[in-house]
Amino acid sequence: MTAVETDADIGDAATEPVDPDRDPETATLLEDALETSRTGVEGERPPFDPDRPVRWRNTVYNVSWTVTDDRTRTDYVVTVDQIDDDPTGSQIDYDNLPDVDRERLSGLREELSQTDEEQRIGAQLEYTDDSDIEASVLVPESEYEFVVIDDHVLAIESGETETTIYTFTYEVLERASTPAVYGADLREEHLLVLESLSDDEHDLVEEAISEGRAVVGTDDDAFVEVGERLLEHEPIYVSDRVGEWLVEYEGEVYWTELDTLRTTELVEELEAYDEEV
Ramachandran class of 98: left when φ > 0, alpha when ψ lies in -120 to 50, beta otherwise: beta
* Candidate from 163-172, 241-250, 254-263 with smallest mean pLDDT: 254-263
| pLDDT(119) > 80 | no
Burial of 6 (0-12, 13-18, 19+ CB in 10 A): middle
Identify which has the larger pLDDT, 276 or 83: 83
Phi, psi of 7 (to 5 degrees): -60, -35
Q: Model-level pTM? A: 0.79
Give the pLDDT score at 200.
94
Task: Tell me the mean pLDDT in the region 54-68.
Answer: 97
71-85 in b/e burial notation, b at 16+ Cβ within 10 A? Answer: eeeebbebebebeee
Pairwise CA distance, residues 76 & 183, whole Å:
49
Phi, psi of 247 (to 5 degrees): -125, 135
Q: Are 224 and 14 in contact (CB under 8 A)?
A: no
| Band of pLDDT at residue 220, cut at 50, 70 and 90 | confident
Map 13-77 to HEC letters: HCCEECCCCCCHHHHHHHHHHHHHCCEEEEECCCCCCCCCCEEECCEEEEEEEEEEEEEEEEEEE
